[in-house]
């Protein structure tokens, strides 16, 4: 699946990966994740995308963002939007699809193999565009959860599908280790009804 001569770039949809790993019952050790893909080829870049609620005095994801930023990841954030839904519930929406897509397309001349950590079906068009440029795209998500965390269209479009469950021993955080992060609020997950 991976050629050691390939230039690899990781694109992590933070809220989606968080929801996927939680559905499988483990946390991601981002140091191990980076090391795991450095073994597979030449790791050119590792991007992590997440929306942040700016007006909160303390954000539970801030320690993770800071750690990633100092440890080999390019962190891309934007303010989340807060709104009230029709039922009067406070909701937070923070979709990073456009930022991830633009960054991925800008690197198409130098990256051989993209690894996208997301099951969001909205990325099918991006995968198709990268493939038209002769690039390989692997998707990391899961079919092991109920319901599956990956869009069927996205899984079919990808060159390779890697079930996150198969990476658990390689990138999962040892429960005895002190966590690098507190849980990312699920509210930053895009609430679009066509997501999966």
The DSSP-derived string for 38-97 is HTTSEEEEEEEEEEE-TT-SS-TTHHHHHHHHHTT-EEEEEEPEEEE-TTS-EEEE---H
Looking at per-residue pLDDT, the higher value among 189 and 130 belongs to 130
Q: What is the CATH number of the domain that holds 59?
A: 3.40.50.1010
- The arithmetic mean of pLDDT across residues 43-56, rounded, is 88
Q: Which of 100, 147, 94, 160 is nearest to 125 (CA)?
A: 100
Residue 49, domain member (yes or no): yes
Q: How many domains in the chain?
A: 1
pLDDT given for residue 56 in this prediction: 63
Residue 1, domain member (yes or no): no
Q: Which of 182, 184, 171 is nearest to 31 (CA)?
A: 171
Tens digit of each residue's pLDDT (9 = 90 or more) over 120-176: 999 999 999 999 999 999 999 999 998 999 999 999 999 999 999 999 999 998 766
Tens digit of each residue's pLDDT (9 = 90 or more) over 1-43: 899 999 999 999 999 999 999 999 999 999 999 999 999 999 9
Query: What is d(CA 110, CA 106) in angstroms, rounded to the nearest whole number?
Result: 9
Residue 174, domain member (yes or no): yes
Residue 2, domain member (yes or no): no
Structure tokens at 93: 């929406």
Query: What is d(CA 54, CA 78) in angstroms, rounded to the nearest whole number?
Result: 9
Q: Which domain holds residue 51?
A: 7-185
Query: What is d(CA 42, CA 25) in angstroms, rounded to the nearest whole number?
Result: 30
Residue 162, domain member (yes or no): yes
Tens digit of each residue's pLDDT (9 = 90 or more) over 80-115: 887 788 888 877 777 899 999 999 999 999 999 999
pLDDT given for residue 178 in this prediction: 56
């Amino acid at each position: 699946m991976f050629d050691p001569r390939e230039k690899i770039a990781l694109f992590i949809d933070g809220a989606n990966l968080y929801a996927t790993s939680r559905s499988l019952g483990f946390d991601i050790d981002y140091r191990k994740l980076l090391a795991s893909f450095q073994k597979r080829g030449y790791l050119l870049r590792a991007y992590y995308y997440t929306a942040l609620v700016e007006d909160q005095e303390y954000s539970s994801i801030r320690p993770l963002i800071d750690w990633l930023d100092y440890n080999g990841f390019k962190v891309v954030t934007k303010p989340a939007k807060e709104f009230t839904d029709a039922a009067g519930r406070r909701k937070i929406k923070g979709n990073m699809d456009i930022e991830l897509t633009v960054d991925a397309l800008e690197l198409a001349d130098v990256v051989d193999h993209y690894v996208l950590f997301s099951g969001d079906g909205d990325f099918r068009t991006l995968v198709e565009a990268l493939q038209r440029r002769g690039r390989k795209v692997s998707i990391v998500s899961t079919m092991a959860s109920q319901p599956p965390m990956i869009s069927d269209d996205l899984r079919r479009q990808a060159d390779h599908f890697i079930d996150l469950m198969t990476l658990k021993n390689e990138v999962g955080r040892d429960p005895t280790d002190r966590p690098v992060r507190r849980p990312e609020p699920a509210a930053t997950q895009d609430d679009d009804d066509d997501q999966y």
